[in-house]
Chains A and B, each alone.
Chain A
């Protein structure tokens, strides 16, 4: 197992390296000039000399390759530079935004798991019955609801009308309920359908019949044997979603005044804050990779054939 993890970790290095090169090049395609943007937000007159001076100060006068090498050398020493716009440490600013998003995503993620697994399994067991139809209706509507609309709707009912929860901001546990629900609802719909489908598939396998023949309790068969087998395809998807949620919470963050990554990324792209964009992309890349690694480990644990296959090929 340790060997499996070790190999996966080594394998990630080229991917992350490639990712950093691609973003570095893509950033150059953003229209506009970062120096002029900086001058505008700092209220400095843009004479030719100032532009040149700032370009040199930002290191933008160097050839692209040199800029990249310089950046990489610093990053390897955990120095992500300073933001072109706020002039503060990129790492500090990024962490300031990353932690709230991570918290929100974690809560939403938990909500997805807690809701979609039982709902999915139960609807599979009751295929075609009223419960199944209800979850199906819920799944389709939750996937089709636009996030911003859903967010305002939840605020309107739970905060304004029922006065149960605070509207915005971050603070107590109560502040997590609405944004996490908004973020999770669409995913719950997706995953409950996924789990339902894979549970149905497993239900038809001979081992279920055999287990029933052995006289195992219905509950044991469903929650231990069937679920374990049905979970692996869903897990892979969940891993990807976790990464998506970390980077793509901008709308939820906006509605609920949540100080997170989405806002930071969009703002730095708009302001062409190269070091900040680069660091954010790298961070999200690493997070994506780590969640996939965890998913792989979990899948391996659920299904020994996966981890053994890797060892045997060697």
Chain B
């Protein structure tokens, strides 16, 4: 008996040791093979890159579409519109005609020429599916598309729509695929592409769905070529796994917003082994108040909540400074958002006074305030899988308890969350603005429309007495023709929203980057969704 057990145990141990040894050898060989002389840069994303069609949405990812396809114009720093595939443009006096002079040295990655005809063809296939894209007002405003000559393209609009150029910079859907990429039906939305062929700096080389995608530098690229030869994007769904893969050296960089927890970011930063960066504010994380609920329709209550919430505590304890405190609906560094308003300071006594004024009185021996025998209870809705929302919700609950408000936390899985949000069954919920180039104009426009392309804001704000006026003003500002007028009107709208206290801005979100010390050129691009793959370089 003794012999047999020794024999069995040693056999098991041998198997384990041999398999481990065999595996690690194989692993070394593999990494050695991929590294030879090429510069290969690796990072991860939480989902697959999708089918790389610039004219569709899900399951495409913005960053991968932006690597392969380009627009007529580029969204530069501080919102400045810069030439891209169009080297210049003329706008008619009445603001309804745009003539684009295209670059004549651009080729698609399959070698075919980029010209006005292919621009028109791409615009037309997008416009053929107008209803899928009409969350972008420009799509509704386009009347005709014309080829003037080989390198001149003309766009005629119904109205003088000022954000035209800005909306042309969007990653989708107005970017260009080559003639050979069109399906037989010519409808890229319904039938997809035959191959992902664009003019951008990267070409898809290999794609294993849900595992990885490899992009290689485009030999035909007209602009400055990328510094590394290949970019590998690995699919890693879990944030902690991403951190471990990065520490192991399987990734060169972690990039994005919410891709790892603030704790992990802090840990990596403090280890001193890596470089870290935080971008300028991109969008605003905010609470939205539902003015259709009887309690929330009272401005004093909304004001009391603004004063009762200790934002600094959240910034210090949850974000460790990765996200900064927000006092206005949009970050102040965007076009037209630099509004002078008095921020609502953290002031518990003021909050209590406001509640007293609203008729919600403290009752001896009871924890929560009451009015006409009803306790003051508010429901805060958040997405169950979002740990940051959950942590903030707990802070909100604690802060409001101090002024005698009972906050009921309701967590829902994301689809149910959005259904509840659109149906308006909540008092407060978490939402966020859309970041540039969508902020502020597209986000504000979404407030005026009751559609899934918008947000829950339309319904939430509809309890305000001046909602109609607000909608009219937002629609007007989009058709303003002078800069001066536009600034004035945006200021009025944003001041109005601030004074009515319907949003409780919490923090400005930022992109984070954590990368190895041999990586250079990690600069945040103006559009939040873009990853600086072309400027990145690696030292040996």
Contacts and interface: CB of A to CB of B under 8 A. Distances in A.
B414 interface: yes
B451 A263 contact: no
Contact of A177 (B20, B131, B133): B20
Contact of B248 (A42, A160, A254): A160
A46 interface: yes
B23 A257 contact: no
A257 B244 contact: no
A159 B57 CA distance: 37
Contacts of B24: 163-165, 174
Tell me if B's interface is mostly helix, strand, loop or mixed. Answer: helix
A41 interface: yes
A81 interface: no
B4 A223 contact: yes
A257 B241 contact: yes
Contacts, number: 152
A49 B211 CA distance: 38
B321 to A, nearest CB: 26
A179 to B, nearest CB: 11
B58 interface: yes
B48 to A, nearest CB: 9
A164 B20 contact: yes
A42 B244 CA distance: 33
B57 to A, nearest CB: 5
B234 A45 contact: no
A40 B418 contact: yes
A168 B241 contact: yes
Given A43-B132, A173-B26, A167 B245 contact: yes
Interface string B427-456: 000000000000000000000010111000
Interface in A123-166: 125-126, 131, 152, 155-156, 159-160, 163-166
A118 B23 contact: no
Contact of A165 (B23, B413, B414, B449): B23
A169 interface: yes
Contacts of A236: none
Interface in B307-346: none
A197 interface: no
Interface stretch (B5-13, B143-151, B491-499): B5-13
A169 B23 contact: no
A166 B27 contact: yes
A259 B451 contact: no
B251 to A, nearest CB: 9
Interface string A69-103: 00000000000000001100000000011000000
Contact of B250 (A86, A118, A156, A167): A167
Contact of A255 (B30, B44, B241, B250): B241
Contacts of B234: 168-169, 257
A254 B239 CA distance: 10
Given A43-B58, A45-B453, 6 more contacts: A96-B210, A168-B245, A172-B26, A255-B241, A257-B238, A263-B210
Interface of A: 31-33, 36-37, 39-47, 50, 85-86, 96-97, 114-115, 118-119, 121-122, 125-126, 131, 152, 155-156, 159-160, 163-174, 177, 218-219, 222-223, 254-257, 259, 263, 270-272
